[in-house]
Amino acid sequence: MELKDLDTELLISELQNRGYIHVLWNREDVLHMAEEMDVILHDDEIDSIIYNIENKHDANYGVNWDFIQFIIDDVISNREK
């Protein structure tokens, strides 16, 4: 069974069966934080934020709401340049 073929619930179950832990963040989480910040994001910005969350987080601290807000702020500041 290929992981890409599984829905989220099955994916989580399959990861657990393979000995992985999971902490999932998604577009809805980014949109929730943006809403809390009174920010409207474009689809390409959301994709960039998701990418940056995954690739710029520090494993010592993980991903949390403050980090997501930091990444959104970074994208917004680049928007203005």
Whole-model pTM: value is: 0.78
How big is the chain, counted in residues?
81
CA torsion, points 6, 43, 39, 68, in degrees to nearest 10? 40
Integer Cα distance of 58 and 13 in angstroms? 26
- In this structure, is residue 67 part of a structural domain? yes
Number of domains in the chain: 1
- In this structure, is residue 45 part of a structural domain? yes
The boundaries of the domain holding residue 46 are: 25-81
* CA-based nearest residue to 57, from 73, 70, 44: 70
Question: Mind listing the pLDDT tens digit of every residue in the chain (81 residues)?
Answer: 455 556 878 888 888 999 998 788 899 999 999 999 999 999 999 999 999 999 999 999 999 999 999 999 999 998 866
